[in-house]
Amino acid sequence: MQLNLRRPIAVVVLAFAAIGFARTARATNTAEAAVRTTMFDEPSTKNEGVRVYHPQVDLSATVASTLAIAGGYSADVVTGATPATFDVVSAATKFSDTRHLGHASAGFERPDGGIGFSFAYGTESDYRSTVFSGTTHHDLYEHNFTLALAYSHNWDRVCDADNTAAAGQPLALVALPSSAGCFTNTMGITTQKLNIDTFEPSLSWTMTPRLVVQGGATIQILDGFQSNPYRKVLVGSQNRTPQERHPQFRQRYALFFRMAYAFPDLRASALLMVRGYDDSWAVRAITGDLVGTKYIGQYLLVSGRAHWHEQTAASFYRDADGYRILGPAGQFWTGDRELSPMGNYLLGGKIAFFRRPMQERSSWFVEMELGGKYEFLYYRPESAVAPNADRKYAQIVQGAFAMRF
Amino acid sequence: MHSLCFSKILILLGTLAVGGCSISKWTVKPHQRELLADRIMQLDAEAQERAAEEHILSNREGAIGGTGTSGGGCGCN
C-alpha cells in the first residue's frame, strides 16, 4: 500500500470546509443533507495505475439561528499499482487500502461575525490523523469587508520501518515492506510523528454590487516524518536503494487572490483564483483557476472550469537518471512527483438540477439538488524519467445529491 | 523630508479612520446586494464539493492554499 503524503493537507482542507459548510447552511437554510461520490481514475502506460473512490456524507443544521452544527463521513477506497523503487526499470507493486475520515463542527454566528470549531479524525492501515481547527470572521464597514482567520493543528502518526540500526547512515535506510503490523508494537515496525500547523488569514471586500474580491495567505509548518515509508530511491552507480528521505521540517507559504464577478444580463458569474506558492524545500508554484457558471432556465445550473498549475522542483530532487548517475543532491532524496518540476492542466464541467416546491403548496423540503461533474486532468512532467511519468492524465467523475430543509 | 511625508500619511489615515461618514459613500448598501446573495457569487459556497476537489489537487500538486477560509461573500446575513 502506497502512503499518500498529502493526506494531512486534505484533512485540514476538509476541517476548514466543515466549518464553512455549517456557516453556509446557517446563512441560507436551516438544515442540509448531502451525499457525494467522486471517482478519480489515473491510468498508466506501464501498469494498472490508480483508482480512488471517494464517497462522502455531510449533514448540517442551524439551531436558534445562532448555533450551526455539521458532521460527516468520507472514505477513500484506493486500488492500483505503483513502483516501490524510483528508478527507470522497477515494476509496479499492487496495493489497495481504505481510509476513513469523520468530522464534526460547531459554529456560533452573530450579525457581524462568528466563530467555529472543527474536529476531524482519519484512519487507515498505516496512517492516522487527528485535526482540530478554529475559525473566526468579522464583518466591517456595513458588511463590506470580512476579516477571517483560521488555524488548525494536526497530530498525525505514520507507520514506518524501524531504522534505528541505520542511524547516521541514511543510505542504509530500509523501506517499510507492507502495512502489516502497523500500530501494534510489532518488532521491526515503528510509529513516526508528524505535527502540522496551518494558519490562514483572509480579507474579503465587496467592491461593487457585482464584484467581490478576497486576498489571503496560507502558512503551514510541518514538523516530523514526511517521507513515503514504502518508497525506495535508486541512488548512485552502486545501485543502492535506500528508503526515500525528506527533511523533517518544512515551511510552506502561499498568497492567493480570489474574485467573483456577476453578469446579471447573462444570469452568470465568473470566479477567478490566482495563487503564488513558495516553501523551504525550494518548491515554487503558480496556480490559476477560473470557473464560469450560468443559469439555464429556472432549475438548471451549468459551469465550466479551467485550472492551471506550474511548479519548480525541490532542492534535493533529481529524476531517475540523475540519481543513478550523479547520486543524491545532498543528504535527501525523493521519488515524489509532487516535488518534481511539473505542470498540470484541468478542464471540466458541471451540471446541477434544482427542484423547489411550488410556493402555494406546503412541502417538507426547501430545495433538492442533483448534480454531476466531469474533469480531465492532464499532467506535464519535465522528463520521461520523472516520477510517475507513465501517468499522462487522470479523469474525475462526481455525482452529488443534496436536500435542504 | 521623510518625517514630513510620514506625517502627511498619518494625517490622511487618521482622517479616513475618523471620517466614517465619507467611507459609507463607497460601501455597497444592503439593497444593492441582490446579485451578491446568489449562490453562483459565493466564494465559499459548496464547501464540501470544494473539499473533494482540493483533496484531489492537493495530492497531485506540490502547492497548498488558495481556498480561503469561511470568510468572504456578500455579508448579506
For residues A228 and A341, give the distance between their C-alpha atoms in angstroms, rounded to a whole number.
19
**Mean pLDDT over residues B37-64, rounded?**
85
C-alpha separations of A192 from A127, A182, A195, B74 in Å: 10, 11, 10, 44
A289 contact residues in B (CB cutoff 8 A): 66
Q: Do B77 and A111 touch (CB under 8 A)?
A: yes
Instruction: Give the model's pLDDT for residue A147.
Output: 95
Tell me the pTM.
0.86
pLDDT in the model for residue A22: 44
Residue B70: predicted pLDDT: 41
Residues 6+ apart with CB under 8 A from A373: A348, A349, A350, A351, A396, A397, A398, A399, A400
Residues 6+ apart with CB under 8 A from A50: A40, A41, A42, A44, A78, A79, A80, A81, A82, A391
pLDDT one-digit tens code per residue, A106-124: 999 988 899 999 999 999 9
CA quadruple A235, A238, A243, A246: dihedral positive or negative? negative
Using the predicted structure, report yes or no on whether residue B71 has a pLDDT greater than 60: no
Residues 6+ apart with CB under 8 A from B45: A24, B39
Determine contact: A348 vs chain B, CB below 8 A: no
- Sort out which chain B residues have CB atoms less than 8 A from A295's CB and list them: 40
C-alpha cell at A227: 517521507
Whether A32 contacts A25, CB under 8 Å: yes
Q: How many CB pairs under 8 A join A and B?
A: 223
| Contact indicator for A131, A119 with CB cutoff of 8 Å | yes
pLDDT, one tens digit per residue, over A319-331 is 999 999 999 999 9
Q: What is the pLDDT of residue A173?
A: 93
d(CA A141, CA B16): 12
CA distance A326 to A237: 8
Q: What would you report as the CA-atom Rg of chain A, rounded to the nearest whole angstrom?
A: 23
* Residue B29 to residue A24, Cβ atoms within 8 A: no
Higher pLDDT, B16 or A238: A238
pLDDT at site B76: 35
Beta carbons within 8 Å of A268's beta carbon, 6+ residues apart: A262, A292, A293, A294, A295, B40
Give me the phi and psi of A11, to 5 degrees please. -65, -40
> What is the full per-residue pLDDT of chain A (405 aa) written as tens digits?
333 434 554 555 555 555 554 444 444 458 999 999 999 999 999 888 999 999 999 999 998 878 999 999 999 999 998 777 887 777 778 888 899 999 999 999 988 899 999 999 999 999 999 999 999 999 998 889 999 999 999 999 999 999 999 889 999 999 999 999 999 989 999 999 999 999 999 999 999 999 999 999 999 999 999 999 999 999 998 889 999 999 999 999 999 999 999 999 999 999 999 999 999 999 999 999 999 999 999 899 999 999 999 999 999 999 999 999 999 999 999 999 999 999 999 999 999 999 888 765 667 788 899 999 999 999 999 888 889 889 999 999 999 999 988
Name the residue facing A56 among B48, B58, B67 (closest C-beta). B48
Axis crossing angle, helix B47-57 with helix A7-28, rounded to the nearest 10: 170
For residue A30, give the C-alpha cell.
436551516
What residues are paired with A231 via a beta bridge?
A: none
pLDDT band at B25 (very low <50, low <70, confident <90, very high): low
Question: Which chain A residues touch B18 with a CB distance below 8 Å?
Answer: none
d(CA A179, CA A122): 16
Q: Kindly determine whether residue A209 and residue B49, on different chains, have CB atoms separated by under 8 Å.
A: no
Task: pLDDT band for B52, please (50, 70, 90 cuts).
Answer: confident
Residue A147 touches partner B, C-beta closer than 8 Å: yes
CA angle B46, B51, A401 (to 5 degrees): 50
Q: Which residues in chain A have their CB less than 8 angstroms from residue B32's CB?
A: 209
CA A98-B47-A364 angle, to 5 degrees, is 100
Mean pLDDT computed over every residue of chain B: 70
Interface list for A 246-285 with B (CB within 8 A): 252, 254-256, 258, 260, 262, 264, 268-269, 271, 273-275, 277, 283, 285
Q: From the CA of A165, how many Å to the nearest CA of chain B?
A: 32
pLDDT at A375: 97
The pLDDT tens digits of the residues spanning A45-69 come to 988 899 999 999 999 999 887 899 9
